[in-house]
Homo-oligomer: A and B are copies of this chain.
């Protein structure tokens, strides 16, 4: 039986965004279930250079190296991301592009849980299929269960908890499924 070790990623770079709040709830839940969770600070995604083969040829930029190492230690992924123009935010995609580069196949055989919050009514319904496709492409098992959080502006209490008990249970169930998988 493996110890669950999860890398937590947020697709929105701003401070205090909905997706970071949603991710924080899921992270707390995962820790309460015995998982170790390494949360990538959203601003650090913004400090990554944009993927460029000429840059790569000079060696991994330090932050790329660091994030590759951190993913390498994890066996699970927890991702909360907004939807930009019906797809994956460029910043999150850029991280995946860097970390997926050979020689190691760092994403291979990891398990991922995907969530998304949006201010509108769709709750990232169009981003998630793209993100799931990209993750599968790099060898990740993405859990079929989906968490969509539409109208995110009204979803949270001032203390960061969710107003809607059904949604809270949905997040907890997704995390439970992930942690259970990782425990094998």
Which residues of chain B are within 8 angstroms of A94 by Cβ–Cβ distance? 50, 89-91, 93-94
Q: In whole angstroms, how far apart are the Cα atoms of A133 and B16 in the complex?
A: 29
Q: State which size class the interface on A falls in.
A: 35 or more
User: Residue of B at shortest CB range from A151?
Assistant: B121
Query: What residues on B are CB-neighbors of A54 within 8 Å?
Result: 13-15
Contact check: which of B48, B50, B85, B95 meets A97 at CB < 8 Å?
B85
- Whole-angstrom CA separation of A122 from B12 in the bound complex: 22
A90 partner, pick from B93, B121, B140, B142, beta carbons under 8 A:
B93
Please indicate which of the listed interface residues A51, A123, A145 has the most CB atoms of chain B within 10 Å of its own CB.
A51
Nearest chain B CB to A81 CB, angstrom units: 12
Task: Determine if A59 is an interface residue (Cβ-Cβ < 8 Å).
Answer: no
B129 near A86 with CB under 8 A, answer: yes
Q: Which of A27-83 contact B (CB under 8 A)?
A: 43, 45-46, 48-55
A residues 131-152 with Cβ under 8 Å of B? 132-134, 136-142, 144-145, 150
Minimum CB distance partner of A150 in chain B: B121
The interface of chain A, by Cβ under 8 A from chain B, is: 12-15, 17, 43, 45-46, 48-55, 84-97, 100, 121-123, 125-126, 129-130, 132-134, 136-142, 144-145, 150
